[in-house]
Each structure stands twice: as structure tokens, then as C-alpha cells.
Amino acid sequence: MAFDCLACGACCAYSESWPVFIGDGDAAGIPDELIDIEHGRMLCHGNRCSALVGDIGGRAHCSVYENRPLVCREFQSGSEDCIMVRRSFGLPAAQ
């Protein structure tokens, strides 16, 4: 099952510890003001990644999409994790 990630953004607002850098050079190309250097991850405002622009469940996008961390690149639309995150925001589990 595939979802339109530009009409969701929930995975970018689910946890203050997400996304953590897991790959070499994961932070390359990401502006310093969006990085939580101390914890080796993206800076979050509450549970929302600082790179997320827009509204959860509306129009949303990643402002560093081309340079996003590996963990974000590996997140699969429609996966069990995706469905769980969508449900946590009251979004439908199916399209």
C-alpha cells in the first residue's frame, strides 16, 4: 500500500529522537541550525523534525529532502511503521 507522503508528514513528527543519524556523512548538506549535534540527529521542536514544512495530514514536505538522513531514506511508505505513525495522528490507515 502506498501513501502520498506530501499529503502526510506524520513520520517526521512522531518522535523527538527521530531521525537519528545512522550513516557516515548523514548530516552532510543539512544546515547546522537543523541538527542536534549533541545527540547526533535532526533537531526537533517537540516531536516534529525541524526540517518538516507544512501541516501533518495536509501538505507537508522535507526542506532537506535531497540530503535527508539515511533513516529517512529507508522509511517505507505503507509499511507497518508508516501505518502505526498515521494512526497515532488520527490519519486513515488506508487510502
Band the pLDDT of 95: cuts 50, 70, 90: low
| Amino acid in position 56 | I
Q: What is the pLDDT of residues 38-61, one digit of tens each?
A: 999 999 999 999 999 999 999 999
C-alpha to C-alpha distance for 7 and 58, rounded to whole angstroms? 5
Global pTM value? 0.88
Residue ranges with strand state E in the chain: 35-36, 41-42, 44-45, 48-49, 52-54, 60-62
DSSP 83: H
